[in-house]
A and B are shown apart, each in its own frame.
Chain A
Amino acid sequence: MIHFEQVTKRYPGGHEGLSNASFHIAPGELVFLTGHSGAGKSTLLRLIGLLERCTRGQVRVNGRNLGRIGRRDIPYHRREVGMIFQDHRLLHDRTVFDNVAMPLVVAGMRHQEIGRRVRAALDKVGLLNKEKARPITLSGGEQQRVGIARAVVSKPPVVLADEPTGNLDPALSQEIMDLFMQFNRVGVTLLIATHDLDLISRMGQRILTLNRGRLVRDSAAG
């Protein structure tokens, strides 16, 4: 589902956010991406969502070489990659419902279908009773779950999460991770960046470790 082949990302100024990274994530896998701050976790995720383009090498997602996707086709690629951020990136002048509905609205889905799907997604993250609330009135954990509902509402095959539990206490973090496990069980491929080693070591999933832009360990490879 996600292929990296000798991928290097050099930022303007010459600093390498990611150096010569190669790995492969199969469809339906749940993989954690870890490493200290500045190791290149966000850089790697941003390459998959085409928020950045790699300097060298090749990234393939769902069979498509991202280097071949032109500017105009980036939106269509992003509809197949749900993204979750540490800071949620919700719109505070809209209700929870409207925030979650956004990916369906931009895809031009019909009104009735949108209502059905949004409620299903909110139900999955346990926020069905908050659909009319403004995100600002919710707790940090709830806001993050709104962000998750938005990322999965259009049922993308790939979901990326960049430090989704960064601001949460251990109990809430565990809840969020359990949600990801649920999505994974229905076949979604997930790649989750986190530096919460305690949390992920208990979950028994594959872990990719980055250090200064280099992929230094892949638990699946031993």
Chain B
Amino acid sequence: MGSARTNRGGSDPSTWALRHLQVALASLGRLCSAPLATLMTTAVIGIALALPTGLHVTLNHVQQLAGGWEGAATFSLFLKQEIGEKQAETLAAKLRRNPRLAKVQVIPPDLALAEFRRLSGFEGALDALDENPLPTVLVIEPEPEYSTPEAAETLMAGFNRQAEVDFTQLDLQWVRRFHAITEIARRGVLVIAALLALAVLLIVGNTIRLEIQNHRSEIEITKLIGGTDAFIRRPFLYNGLWYGLSGGILAWLLVSLALWLLNGPVEHLAGLYHSDFDLSAIGLPTLGALLTASALLGLLGSWIAVSRHLSDIEPD
């Protein structure tokens, strides 16, 4: 009894691996022998994957750029024009005794002007001025626990009550907003990625469904002579895997090309802001994730098609 199973499998792991390799290569060979059809499917997948990948990479760059601003809020206290350096130091000493403040730094007008000259590129225009228009500025970082918007508001009101202070500027809000916006953007990219992943599943699924239909008689005959479902499924699954992977590679090429095209202008722009920010190529982790995801999507798409349509085909 049960001797039907005696020759089941019947192979050691190396034979098994060899057989998979053969099917995988045969599948690749078949796809390459119909380059136009394969290229069409690959192109659609590649473009669909390039969009979220590109957005993700851009967002990463922007967040990396913003990384320097993270941390405590920073106050800039612009002192009145008539306040001299000595009075400014006295005020700074007084403020340093405040336990809620971590750091108080005096930036005299000369230093501020030099800094501005260095950063802005308006050297010519500044040289035309005969006197320094900048006031003395105190740059203050509160202790982290006083960086919440409420505490910062209170601190700011306190600074503004100082007679020496002309006005106070708080960077906190802007940093917070920026982070909120990038967070929303990140979610948006996730939603777009999910929708386009679904599209890739549908594309691969539909392509494999057509391939199954085109191989109907082959499938029937294979079932007649004792081919298992796994045997019949295998080449279609590998097709899906290759579609996904080649689409992923194409997406990588597209995004790299776009970054390369954008890199010149961005470097120029970053130079204006005196940042060494540049749009480097896609990092290895992102590339790995992209290729893994695309291969899995291709595999999953063909798996769905295969499990839906192979069982419909029975020999008669």
Contacts and interface: CB of A to CB of B under 8 A. Distances in A.
Interface of A: 46, 49, 51, 62-64, 69, 72-73, 75-80, 83, 89-91, 102-103, 106-108, 110, 150
Contacts of A75: 223, 226-229, 231
Contact of B221 (A69, A102, A107): A102
Given A63-B1, A76-B5, A110 B224 contact: no
Nearest to A77: B4
B218 interface: yes
A108 B228 CA distance: 11
Contacts of B15: 108, 110
B229 A72 contact: yes
Interface string B113-145: 000000000000000000000000000000000
Interface in B223-259: 223-229, 231
Contacts of A103: 225-226
B1 A64 contact: yes
B4 A108 contact: no
A64 B227 contact: no
Interface residues of B, number: 28
Nearest to B231: A106
Interface of B: 1-5, 7-11, 15, 19, 217-218, 220-229, 231, 314-316
Contact of A89 (B4, B5, B19, B221): B221
Given A51-B316, A63-B1, A64-B1, A78 B231 contact: no
Contacts of A79: 4, 7, 225-226
11 contacts: A75-B229, A75-B231, A76-B8, A78-B225, A80-B4, A83-B225, A89-B220, A106-B225, A107-B226, A108-B9, A108-B15
Contacts of A72: 228-229
A91 B4 contact: no
Q: Enumerate the 4 nearest inter-chain pairs by beta-carbon distance, A residue then B residue, closest first.
A: A79-B226, A106-B227, A78-B226, A76-B4
Contacts of B7: 76, 79, 107
Nearest to B6: A76
A69 B226 contact: no
Given A51-B315, A69-B4, A91 B218 contact: yes
Contacts of A78: 223-226
Give the one of A62, A76, A103, A110 with max B CB within 10 A: A76
Contacts of A80: 4
A136 to B, nearest CB: 13
Contacts of A107: 7, 10, 226
A62 B48 CA distance: 54
B26 to A, nearest CB: 11
Contacts, number: 73
Contacts of A110: 15
Nearest to B222: A106
A78 B10 CA distance: 16
A197 B19 CA distance: 46
A72 B226 CA distance: 11
A219 B19 CA distance: 48
B226 A76 contact: yes
Contact of A102 (B3, B11, B225, B316): B225
Nearest to B11: A108
Contacts of B221: 89-91, 102
B226 A64 contact: no
Contacts of B228: 72, 75-76, 106
A72 B15 CA distance: 22
A50 to B, nearest CB: 10
Nearest to B16: A108
A136 B31 CA distance: 25
B226 to A, nearest CB: 4
Contacts of B315: 51
Nearest to B228: A75
A102 B8 contact: no
A170 to B, nearest CB: 28
Nearest to A92: B217
Nearest to B314: A51
B303 to A, nearest CB: 17
Contacts of A90: 221
A90 B10 CA distance: 27
A73 to B, nearest CB: 6
Nearest to B5: A76
A212 to B, nearest CB: 21
A64 B3 CA distance: 8
A120 to B, nearest CB: 17
Contacts of A63: 1, 3
B223 to A, nearest CB: 7
B10 A108 contact: yes
Contacts of B8: 76
A199 B129 CA distance: 119
A91 B225 CA distance: 13
A136 B220 CA distance: 19
A83 B316 CA distance: 12
